[in-house]
Amino acid sequence: MHQIFPVTIKFIYPTPQERPTFNIQNESNLALRYIDTPLQHDDLYYYKTFYFKVLDDSARLPDITIQSSGFTYTLQGKTLHIEKLNYPHDFCNVLAKQFRIETGKSVQFNKDLNLIVLKLASTMGNLEDFTIPAAQKGEIKEFNESFPHAEAIYYAFVPADITQLKLSYFDTQKREFKKLLFNIQVKDEIVSTQSDLNPSQDKNRTLKIAIAFGAGIFLLLLAIWLRSIFIALLGVALIVYGGYLLIPLQKVCVKAKSKIYILPTKNSTIFRINENQKRYIKLNEVNGYTKIELDKKLVGWVKNEDLCKN
C-alpha cells in the first residue's frame, strides 16, 4: 500500500533499428511514477521497466501496448495482491528503499508549540506522503524528484513538551520497519518580535488602552485642581492615544506565492507559502516586514515587497 515498485516487461522486437513506443492504459488504483528508463536488450530479448505507486488496496496493472510501424502487441494487465501493513503508531507514511532526515531546525513558536523544519531524502520512496503523527499541523513545502531519488522540505507544529521526535518508516528492501530519531533542540531565535502570537488575546494592547484612558482622565482631573495647561495637554494626549488603539486593525493584501516567515529577519524560517492572493489583518511593521494575522489565529511576517500595491 503506497509503495513504489518496478514492473519490467520482456519482449522480442522484430525491428531493432526502430525504437518502439509504449501506450499504458486501463490501470486501476495505480499512479505511473516513472517511464523514462532506457530500453535494455540482450541477444534475444528487450526489456523495459516502469515504476508505479499503489493508491488503494484494489489495484490492477495496466495493459501495455508496444508499437512501431508494422508492429503492435498488447500485454494484458494483471490484478495485484496488495498488503496492508500493521503500522506502528509513529509511522510517518513513508515506504522506501532508503529514507533519512538530512537536516532539521527547531524554533519556539509559542509557549505550547515548536515549529520544526526538516529536510528529507529518499530513494524509491513515497516522500510526498510524509507526515509526523504527533504534529498538530504539517505540510510538505518543497518537493523535488530526480527519480529514483527525492528531496523535500517539511514543516510542522509539534507540542512543546516533545523533545525527541521518534518516527518509523518501512524499508522495502529489508521488508521491515526502521526507526528514525530527531532531537528537538529549540534555538534561541525566541519569538520576542512575535509578541502577542494570538492576536485575539492581545492582553498588552488591552492593558495599554486601559492605562492610557485611566492616566489621561487622572491627569485631566489633576490639571483642573492644579490649573495646569501642560498637565491637561498631557492628559488629552493620553486619551487620544487610547482612542487610536481602539481603531480597528488595518488589512493588507498579500500576493500569491509569497513566503511567510516566522520572524522579520533575513535568515528566518519560512513556514508557509501564501498560495492565493489574500487580505490579512496587519499587526505591525518592522525593518521592511509586515506582521499579519493568518488563519486559525496564527501570525507571520511577510516582506513589504510581497504586498499588493492596491
- Residue 310's pLDDT band, with cuts at 50, 70 and 90, is low
Residue 255 has pLDDT above 50, yes or no: yes
**CA end-to-end distance (rounded Å), the chain:** 49
Global confidence as pTM: 0.62
The pLDDT score that the predictor gives to residue 19 is 83
- Residue 194's pLDDT band, with cuts at 50, 70 and 90, is very low
Inter-residue contact 274 to 255 (CB < 8 Å)? yes
- Residue 221's pLDDT band, with cuts at 50, 70 and 90, is confident
Residue 79 has pLDDT above 60, yes or no: yes
**Mean pLDDT for all residues in the chain:** 84
Summarised one tens digit per residue, pLDDT across range 9-19 is: 998 877 777 78
- Residue 190's pLDDT band, with cuts at 50, 70 and 90, is very low
The pLDDT score that the predictor gives to residue 196 is 42
Summarised one tens digit per residue, pLDDT across range 133-164 is: 999 888 887 889 999 999 998 988 899 889 89
Residue type, 110: N
- Residue 90's pLDDT band, with cuts at 50, 70 and 90, is very high
CA distances, 101 to each of 10, 118, 167 (Å): 37, 7, 10
Distance CA 151, CA 220 (A): 65
Residue type, 216: G
Distance CA 95, CA 119 (A): 17
Residue 272, C-alpha cell as written in the block: 508557509
Lowest-pLDDT range of 45-54, 94-103, 181-190, 258-267: 181-190
The pLDDT score that the predictor gives to residue 274 is 83
- Residue 204's pLDDT band, with cuts at 50, 70 and 90, is low
Structure-model confidence comparison of residues 78 and 68, the more confident one: 78
CA-based nearest residue to 51, from 102, 119, 99, 97 = 97
Fold of 251-306: SH3 type barrels. (2.30.30)
Within 13 Å and on the Cβ side, how many CA atoms surround 88? 15
Q: For residue 6, give every residue at least 6 positions away whose Cβ sits within 8 Å of its Cβ, in sequence order, or none.
A: 49, 50, 51
Which own/partner contact pairs does 85-91 have at CB distance under 8 Å and 24+ positions apart?
A: 85/1, 85/170, 88/168, 88/177, 89/133, 90/133, 90/134, 90/166, 90/167, 90/168, 91/133, 91/167, 91/168, 91/169, 91/170, 91/177
Q: Which whole number is the average pLDDT over 175-187?
A: 88
- Residue 193's pLDDT band, with cuts at 50, 70 and 90, is very low
Q: Which whole number is the average pLDDT over 59-87?
A: 89
Q: What percent of the chain has pLDDT over 70?
A: 89
**In degrees rounded to 5, what are phi and psi of residue 208?**
-60, -40
3-state secondary structure of 255: coil
Helix-then-strand count for the chain, H and E? 2, 20
Domain ranges for the chain, please list them: 4-75, 91-188, 193-245, 251-306
CA dihedral of residues 183, 187, 192, 197 (deg, nearest 10): -20
Residue 243 has pLDDT above 70, yes or no: yes
Lowest-pLDDT range of 129-143, 190-204, 254-268: 190-204
